[in-house]
Amino acid sequence: MIKEDVTAIVFDFGGIFINLDYNATINAFKELGIENFDELYSQAQQSNLFDNYETGKISSQRFINGLLDFLPAKTTPNQVVEAWNAMLLNIEPEKIKLLAELRKSYPVYLLSNTNDLHIEVAFRRWKNTIGESIHESFDKIYLSHEVGLRKPNKEVFELVCNENNLEPKHTLFIDDTEQHINGAKLIGLQTHLHVTNSSLHPIFS
């Protein structure tokens, strides 16, 4: 249940508003010829491929080419994009309705570690779900590949608070990743570790 001293709310996106299935992407890359996607991720991580993409340091094309280096020669860029986006599922309208109710009492912000390929699909699904842009549903949206910072680094939380004059001790941050929650705590944010893909209503009941 939300505390009485909360005056603003910052939400994560994936696993909170858009349902995710990481196994779908793992299985999609397996079908392309990678038996162990965790190994692919580990190898690519060593070259900072994922970090650089999610902080906007490299383009989608360079990211795709980076993944192609680990895949069979016959693999096409379109197949990589489809596999990468396979984890993105539906957006539940009930959650957007709850968000609209919360905005009557609180400013609400979105803070997501994401990338161009994912966000294009996710934002389109949001609009298809309620008929309007996601930007109409939040006071401000912060995306890692646009601001050049990722959770759990405390700098991204400081950015959100400083730009919107939010007091961390009166701001609630909701995310489904413990590492990100721990990063938020470093600057004194109130936090709630959410169960991925579950209902938001119990938090605010």
Report the candidate in 4, 2, 12, 10 with the shortest Cα–Cα distance to residue 189.
10
Residue type, 32: L
Q: Report DSSP state, residue 141.
A: E
Cis amide bond preceding 168, omega within 30: no
Q: Residue 12: how many CA atoms within 13 Å on its side-chain side?
A: 29
pLDDT number for residue 205? 78
Q: How far, in Å, CA of 102 to CA of 192, rounded?
A: 16
Whether 118 and 22 have beta carbons less than 8 Å apart is answered as no
Whether 11 and 84 have beta carbons less than 8 Å apart is answered as no
Q: How far, in Å, CA of 42 to CA of 80, rounded?
A: 17
196's tokens:
């991925």
Whether 149 and 179 have beta carbons less than 8 Å apart is answered as no
What structural domains and CATH numbers belong to the chain? 8-19+90-204 (3.40.50.1000), 22-85 (1.10.150.240)
Which residues does 122 contact at the CB level (< 8 Å), separation at least 6?
Answer: 13, 14, 18, 88, 91, 114
Tens-binned pLDDT, residue by residue, of the chain (205 aa): 677 899 999 999 999 999 999 889 989 998 998 877 777 766 666 668 889 999 999 999 999 999 998 899 999 999 999 999 999 999 999 999 999 999 999 999 999 999 999 999 999 999 999 999 999 999 999 999 999 999 999 999 999 999 999 999 999 999 999 999 999 999 999 999 999 999 998 888 7
Whether 200 and 96 have beta carbons less than 8 Å apart is answered as no
